[in-house]
Amino acid sequence: MSDTVGIVIVSHSQDIAKGTADMVRQMVGSEVRVAFCGGNPDGGLGTNVPLIIDAINKAWSPKGVAVLVDLGGAETNSEMAVEMLQSDRRNLVVVCNAPIVEGAVMAATEAAGGSSLEQVRAVAEELSAG
C-alpha cells in the first residue's frame, strides 16, 4: 500500500469530504491510502490548515500525496498546509486542479495501478481540461 500515491480530500463540508472518500474507497478498496477533512476550526463550513496537515500526514506515501479540493479557500489553505509540512515532504505533495469528486475517484484509480504522483495528477487534471 505504501507503493501507491496517497489521496487527500479537502472540502468546505465534512459531509462532502467523507462522502467523496467513501466513493473513492468503493472504487479502490484499501489499495490506496485515503484521508479527508472538512470544516473550519469551529466545525462550520470552511477549511482548516491543521486538519489538512494531519490528513496529508495520514495519507502519506513515499510516492507522494495528491490533494483534491472543492472551492478557493480549500485550495489556498491546502497550498498553505503543504508549505508548512516538514521540508522533505513538501515537494511530494500536489494540489490538483480538478473537480473534487471526479478528480478524487480518477486520481485514486490511477494511484491504485502504481502510477507516479505526476501521472496521478495528470489524470485528475484532464477532467478540468475537458
Q: Is 1 in the site for other proteins (CB under 8 A)?
A: no
Judged by CB under 8 A, which stretch of 20-28, 71-79, 89-97, 113-121 contacts other proteins?
71-79
27 binds other proteins (CB under 8 A): no
Taking CB under 8 A as the binding criterion, the range among 1-9, 37-45, 96-104, 108-116 that sits at the site for other proteins is: 37-45
Q: Does residue 49 touch other proteins according to CB under 8 A? A: yes
Query: What is the distance between the alpha carbons of residues 124 and 108, in angstroms, rounded to a whole number?
Result: 9
C-beta closer to other proteins: residue 16 or 106? 16
Residue 102 identity? E
Query: What does R_g of the chain's alpha carbons equal in angstroms?
Result: 13
Looking at residue 98, the DSSP 8-state letter turns out to be S
**What gap in Å lies between CA 54 and CA 34, rounded to an integer?**
12
Dihedral of CA atoms 32, 33, 39, 40 in degrees, nearest 10, equals -140
Q: According to CB under 8 A, which one of 11, 48, 61, 109 is a site residue for other proteins? A: 48
Report the C-alpha gap between 67 and 101 in whole angstroms. Answer: 12
The site for other proteins (CB under 8 A) is made up of: 40-42, 44-50, 71-73, 76-77, 79-80, 84
